[in-house]
Amino acid sequence: MEELINKNNKLIKEVVETLPNIQQSIDDTTKNYQYYIGSIKNEVFEIKDNETYSEAIKRGEGIFDRIDETERRRKIVIEKSQETINQIEIMKNKMSRIIEECNNDEETLSKTRNELIDKIISIEEMIMKDKLFRKPKETDTITSEFNKKKEEWEKQYSDYFSRKKREEEEAKERKKQEEERD
């Protein structure tokens, strides 16, 4: 059980350590996206009345520079967005590992649970025998109490192993039926 705790704590720690990276990446993307949106202008370039050709060219160059800046910011938004997606993908993979480990832990937990129940039943049996040894007249009552407690504990057994066996048998049966169809 200690191994499960250490392994799962390590996985959660990795997830928690990834969260600030994701938040920073989202913040960077949002900030750069706002700059990008702010830089988009719909500027029409035509020679204005009373404007010289050189003034028009200079104004056109200014518009061109702003379009260049908008393009640069667009590329930054794409880059930052991809970084965010990568960070989220890392988080997704870590969360998938946690799910996988928890699914794998079911067998260990079920085994531990069933062993504990067996030990408790054994102790209950020792209590019953001790009572029987000291009070032979109350044998039926003591035996009945033990059987009730034993039955209550047995209801708590994990169904993992029987469920796993049933699923394996069902898979074999499906495979057999598929082979018969072919």
Flag whether pLDDT at 17 surpasses 80: yes
Q: How far apart are CA 6 and CA 10, in angstroms?
A: 6
**Tokens 């500027």, residue?**
43
Report pLDDT for 163. Answer: 82
SS3 167: helix
Report pLDDT for 120. Answer: 94
Report pLDDT for 118. Answer: 94
SS3 42: coil
Tell me the two tokens of residue 172: 């074999």
Report pLDDT for 55. Answer: 94
Report pLDDT for 1. Answer: 62
pTM of the predicted model over 0.85: no
The continuous run of DSSP H or E covering 86 comes out as helix 53-134
Closest CA to 115 of 156, 162, 146: 156
Average pLDDT, the chain: 87
Asked if 43 and 63 count as a contact pair (C-beta separation under 8 A), the reply is yes
**Tokens 């209950």, residue?**
124
Which pLDDT band, with edges at 50, 70 and 90, does 4 fall under?
low
pLDDT tens digits, one per residue of 90-148: 889 988 988 888 888 888 888 889 999 999 999 999 998 888 777 766 777 888 888 99
Q: How far apart are CA 182 and CA 127, in angstroms?
A: 60
